[in-house]
A and B are shown apart, each in its own frame.
Chain A
Amino acid sequence: MNNPILAIEHLSVTFNYRQTVVDDISFAIHAGETFALVGESGSGKSITALSVLRLLPNNARLKAEAIKLNGDDLLKRSEFELCKIRGRRIGFIFQDPMSSLNPVMTIGSQIEEVIKLHFDLPRDALKQRALELLQQVEIPAPQQRIKDYPHQLSGGQRQRVMIAIALAGKPDLLIADEPTTSLDVTIQAQILALLKNIQQQTGMALWLISHDLALVSSIADRVAVMQQGKIVETGATAEFFSQPKHPYTRKLLNALPSMQSCLTHSAEEKPPLLQVSDFYCYYPIRKGLFKRIVDYVRAVDGVSFNIQQGKTLALVGESGCGKTTLGKSLLNLIPGSGRVVINGVELNALSGEALRQQRANIQIVFQDPFSSMNPRMLVGDIIAEGIRALHPKLSPEQRKARVGQLLQQVDLPEDSALRYPHEFSGGQRQRICIARALAVDPKLIVCDEPTSALDVSVQAQIIQLLKTLQQEKGVSYLFITHDLAVVAEIADDVAVMYKGKIIEQGSVAEILTQPKQAYTKKLLAAVPVLEVGQSADKR
């Protein structure tokens, strides 16, 4: 092959002189190629990218034989020279488009600023070039949009602006670090198509960093898998997915939830546990001197559904469609109006002490395992909190025994009770959250994207745990998610939500295989699927 654009030889990165994050890795990226570096969180993939640009945090130490960009060793360049390479020859796109743009500058001036750094252009040409870039990233009506501030754009558009900024220096190599993780599925597909498109136009190399194997399979030419700082397997995409060699790769592929699994669910009818009818949740918009209510944000707009005992209803929709609001207002955390009947008790008619007693029936597991536990409480106290509140008569010994039992149920060691939440990994924390919800013997658990902050393999474990608990205890779930593949794994029924309304509901097989609404079809089409040899390795 011809000379690679980027060649990394024996790169190692150590933190604080002892913690090796990247361990002696070598690879090369060629011109016009899409190279994907895949790995779970903490495997060192982002650090690898940052060390190419020498943007590592202060406590990191970098060691490498060579990092060559077009044959030019970056390690021998001074910091000053490297500044001219960053953005000019290597573009970088970060994960979070919300925090990567300066909120007080128009997007036009932010793009122009980067162009000015690298090219000496007169003012008109500068603006012209910014417009071209916005056109290139397919932002509609760039003439008007160029004067907009970041908050006026949607998440997908902001990511497009970030791409435009990265392209401003006409780089040979574009590094995209999880470019679509914080975006909805439909927008994710658009952004990927855009990246591919631009790459074909310009012929630059694209280095994609992702944790999502399915996504990578649809776009990359070559894939490398990283585990604990080492590259365990590299290969061309087709070959990689059809014949994975390394056991870790196989494990990753097997952990992927697959759309086929929905066909195995039983269709047996059970009596309804939760009945929701005509449920509304409006936020008032207040304006003017006296804060009069001028309008409402219709977060949940007339929703009706049932959940059967011991079954799972998946609530699917893009971010901002009101699914989380619905989940929280079922628990009375957000005020809503409408009929909510659980186990024959009408929740909305209750208030005060009577409501507090009924709270045991519905519990919630949140998305973010980091903010959902009080960092200053011991895990044992966190789990025991609900028992203390709702069964105050239990003695401390009984409570302790119950906590031990709960920890066992979620497969955590019993001595976890005396540790703090920060000592646990994301998946373990989610187990603690599940134990906390289970502590009061709920009939229904609202799971608000419980797996979206977790790695694939951990995600599979949590879903398995939820399924096991359902079989043992007959608990029902309202599973809120945007990930249709997970839905196929766990749900019995699906409700699709769009702009505060449920537009389609039915059994999981029905919705996933024969969707009726155009929106559902669009959602399904946007889900990245492993294209090659997927079923062959599924075991």
Chain B
Amino acid sequence: MIILWTDALIYLLIAVMLALGLYLRGKEHIQRPLQQIGCNKIGMVSLVVLLFFVLIGLLDSVHFKPADDKQNEIVSLLDYWATPLREHGEKTYSAPFATTLYSKEMMMLEDGSMQWGYPRLEFGGRHLTNPETETIPDILQKALYGWAQGASLIVFFIFLMWTLSAERYQRLTGNSTAKAVLAVVFVIVSCSYALIYLSGYYHVFGTDKVGEDVFYQAVKSIRTGLVIGTLTTLIMLPMAIIFGILAGFFRGWVDDIIQYIYTTLNSIPGVLLIAASILMVQVYMANHEADFTSVIVRADMRLLFLCMILGVTSWTGLCRLLRAETLKLREMEYVQAASALGVKQGAILLRHILPNVMHIVLISVVLDFSSLVLAEAVLSYINIGVDPTSYSWGNMINGARLEMAREPIVWWSLTAAFVFMFALVLAANLFADVVQDAFDPRRSGNE
């Protein structure tokens, strides 16, 4: 097993979250909002969708060198399981579920003569003898078959629950939220089974310019999106929170210095900083070639640096918001009462200021998460985003934009990237709304 830098950080993040979960287990006043989230239909459904994305991202974060591989390449678990998808390349563009290429070519017929036409794909629909008539029934049949597999798995699981413990079965299907969650799990699992089964025979989302499967690209991009969204926030948050609260609470020269820092940072165009740092990494990697032998390691290093520099350039906005809020909060009477009670300043910051700015942090983290995923797309556009060889929705969009003017239009790369991005960002936004409602004591009381 090989641990890349971003992998390590992701594992660290998960460890921290688990530890936090254990720590909060006994806390009664944290439990109540969590239970409220647990009873919220939208919250739980979007959580399931998010977890599904996270699961794919995690599968894609376990890297190793397979023993049977000839090319000495580092692959992830996801790659390993999707090996056919990875290797079934075509020559160039092909539409979703197509059996022929998207552009005409000279091809040799069986009798040896040459003809100008659409050649058959090497892998998509290979098993069909007469594509014109067989395609649609075949797709339906295979989709149904895959779907039935997934569906029966879930049904089997429920059946297992029922036989093992009737009480637990009751709890699982008793209330409407659990039913909704179960329904969503059912839909996700059965549909992904259908998609996986289909993608063994077809290119479900078509292929791109160099003939790579777009479905595979979109799935691989999930990890990049999640890494950019979470790691950047992780780097940005401590800076924004610490600086913002300190500036607002202590005012005076502390405030002056912190304001000076972020005004300076803000006045440098972010793109310039990002371009410079990416260039630096590239130079560094060129000078230390021995340490960066594989393409994946290089791409990973660049991704990590992109996260860091995005974090450094994006904390100022949140910091300013938090400073303003803290300025307001420090004049609140409960803060004065606390200092009259002899509470130390550090404790005031932790107990009174921090919890009361958390809603701002939460909202801006989610908004930033979405905007960072989008920012990555923009940066890829000017070639200072993630490595061109790594998969990301930004790279997909960037590649697709060149073909927007083509007639007939090549729409599937863009659509696939959009659908995946949309699902992730929407789920994250909805979930954050619910979390925010639950943790605001003034609102949760009225329910």
> Which residues of A are interface residues toward B (Cβ below 8 A)?
328, 331, 333, 356-357, 359-360, 362-364, 366, 368, 371-378, 382, 385-386, 388-390, 418, 420, 422-423, 433, 436-437, 439-440
* A333 B341 Cβ-Cβ under 8 A: no
* Interface assignment of B442: CB less than 8 Å from any CB of chain A: yes
6 CB contacts below 8 A, A to B, read A333-B339, A359-B340, A362-B340, A371-B332, A377-B352, A389-B347
* A377 B341 Cβ-Cβ under 8 A: no
User: Which B106-121 residues have a C-beta within 8 angstroms of A?
Assistant: none
* B334 A374 Cβ-Cβ under 8 A: yes
* B341 A378 Cβ-Cβ under 8 A: no
From the candidates A362, A371, A385, name the one contacting B338 in the complex (CB within 8 A).
Answer: A385
Given contacts A328-B336, A366-B336, A371-B332, 11 further A-B pairs with CB under 8 A are: A331-B340, A333-B336, A359-B342, A362-B340, A364-B340, A372-B333, A372-B334, A377-B351, A420-B441, A420-B445, A440-B341
Q: Top 9 nearest A-B pairs by Cβ distance? A: A386-B341, A372-B333, A359-B342, A366-B333, A376-B355, A389-B343, A420-B441, A356-B342, A374-B334
| Chain B residues positioned under 8 Å from A436 (CB to CB) | 337, 341
From the candidates A331, A371, A389, A439, name the one contacting B344 in the complex (CB within 8 A).
Answer: A389
| Chain B residues positioned under 8 Å from A420 (CB to CB) | 441, 445
User: Which B150-183 residues have a C-beta within 8 angstroms of A?
Assistant: none
Chain A proximity of B242: nearest CB distance (Å): 19
Chain A CB within 10 A, most for which of B29, B334, B340, B442: B340
| Chain B residues positioned under 8 Å from A363 (CB to CB) | 340-341
| Chain A residues positioned under 8 Å from B333 (CB to CB) | 366, 368, 371-372
* B441 A376 Cβ-Cβ under 8 A: yes
Chain B proximity of A536: nearest CB distance (Å): 41
* B336 A364 Cβ-Cβ under 8 A: yes
Q: How many residues of B contact A (CB 8 A)?
A: 22
Known: A375-B356, A375-B441, A375-B442. A386 touches B342 (CB 8 A): yes
| Chain B residues positioned under 8 Å from A433 (CB to CB) | 337
Q: Tell me, in angstroms, the Cα distance from A236 to B344 when the chains sit together.
A: 58
* Interface assignment of B407: CB less than 8 Å from any CB of chain A: no
* Interface assignment of B28: CB less than 8 Å from any CB of chain A: yes
* B341 A390 Cβ-Cβ under 8 A: yes
Chain B CB within 10 A, most for which of A376, A386, A440: A376
Chain B proximity of A402: nearest CB distance (Å): 14
Chain B proximity of A326: nearest CB distance (Å): 15
Q: Tell me, in angstroms, the Cα distance from A433 to B340 when the chains sit together.
A: 13
| Chain A residues positioned under 8 Å from B342 (CB to CB) | 356-357, 359-360, 386, 389-390, 440
* B337 A366 Cβ-Cβ under 8 A: yes
Q: Tell me, in angstroms, the Cα distance from A313 to B337 when the chains sit together.
A: 21
| Chain A residues positioned under 8 Å from B442 (CB to CB) | 375, 422
* B340 A372 Cβ-Cβ under 8 A: no
Q: Tell me, in angstroms, the Cα distance from A422 to B344 when the chains sit together.
A: 25
User: Which B197-224 residues have a C-beta within 8 angstroms of A?
Assistant: none
Report the nearest A residue to B336, measured CB to CB: A333
Q: Tell me, in angstroms, the Cα distance from A328 to B332 when the chains sit together.
A: 13
Chain A proximity of B249: nearest CB distance (Å): 14
Q: Tell me, in angstroms, the Cα distance from A372 to B333 when the chains sit together.
A: 4
Q: Tell me, in angstroms, the Cα distance from A437 to B445 when the chains sit together.
A: 26
| Chain A residues positioned under 8 Å from B338 (CB to CB) | 385, 389
* B343 A386 Cβ-Cβ under 8 A: yes
Chain A proximity of B158: nearest CB distance (Å): 37
| Chain B residues positioned under 8 Å from A437 (CB to CB) | 337
**B96-140 vs A: 1/0 string, CB under 8 Å?**
000000000000000000000000000000000000000000000
Q: Tell me, in angstroms, the Cα distance from A418 to B334 when the chains sit together.
A: 18
Q: Tell me, in angstroms, the Cα distance from A99 to B351 when the chains sit together.
A: 32
Q: Tell me, in angstroms, the Cα distance from A385 to B332 when the chains sit together.
A: 16
* B352 A374 Cβ-Cβ under 8 A: yes
Q: Tell me, in angstroms, the Cα distance from A380 to B332 when the chains sit together.
A: 20
Q: Tell me, in angstroms, the Cα distance from A366 to B442 when the chains sit together.
A: 21
| Chain B residues positioned under 8 Å from A372 (CB to CB) | 332-334, 337
Chain B proximity of A416: nearest CB distance (Å): 14
* B28 A418 Cβ-Cβ under 8 A: yes
**B403-447 vs A: 1/0 string, CB under 8 Å?**
000000000000000000000000000000000000001100100
Report the nearest A residue to B444, measured CB to CB: A420
Chain B CB within 10 A, most for which of A366, A390, A418, A433: A366
Known: A376-B355, A389-B344. A371 touches B441 (CB 8 A): no
Q: Tell me, in angstroms, the Cα distance from A465 to B418 when the chains sit together.
A: 64
Chain A proximity of B275: nearest CB distance (Å): 38
User: Which B302-349 residues have a C-beta within 8 angstroms of A?
Assistant: 332-334, 336-344, 347
Chain B proximity of A401: nearest CB distance (Å): 18
| Chain B residues positioned under 8 Å from A386 (CB to CB) | 341-343
Report the nearest B residue to A374, measured CB to CB: B334
| Chain B residues positioned under 8 Å from A373 (CB to CB) | 334, 337
Chain B proximity of A406: nearest CB distance (Å): 13
Q: Tell me, in angstroms, the Cα distance from A378 to B355 when the chains sit together.
A: 12
Chain A proximity of B447: nearest CB distance (Å): 12
* B351 A374 Cβ-Cβ under 8 A: yes
Report the nearest B residue to A362, measured CB to CB: B340
| Chain A residues positioned under 8 Å from B445 (CB to CB) | 420, 422-423
Q: Tell me, in angstroms, the Cα distance from A436 to B356 when the chains sit together.
A: 20
From the candidates B29, B334, B341, B355, name the one contacting A371 in the complex (CB within 8 A).
Answer: B334
* B356 A374 Cβ-Cβ under 8 A: yes
Chain B proximity of A317: nearest CB distance (Å): 20
| Chain B residues positioned under 8 Å from A360 (CB to CB) | 342
* B341 A389 Cβ-Cβ under 8 A: yes
Chain A proximity of B35: nearest CB distance (Å): 15
| Chain B residues positioned under 8 Å from A390 (CB to CB) | 341-342
* B337 A376 Cβ-Cβ under 8 A: no
| Chain A residues positioned under 8 Å from B339 (CB to CB) | 333
Chain A proximity of B422: nearest CB distance (Å): 32
| Chain A residues positioned under 8 Å from B356 (CB to CB) | 374-376
| Chain B residues positioned under 8 Å from A362 (CB to CB) | 340
Chain A proximity of B220: nearest CB distance (Å): 41
Chain A proximity of B440: nearest CB distance (Å): 8
| Chain B residues positioned under 8 Å from A423 (CB to CB) | 445
| Chain A residues positioned under 8 Å from B347 (CB to CB) | 389
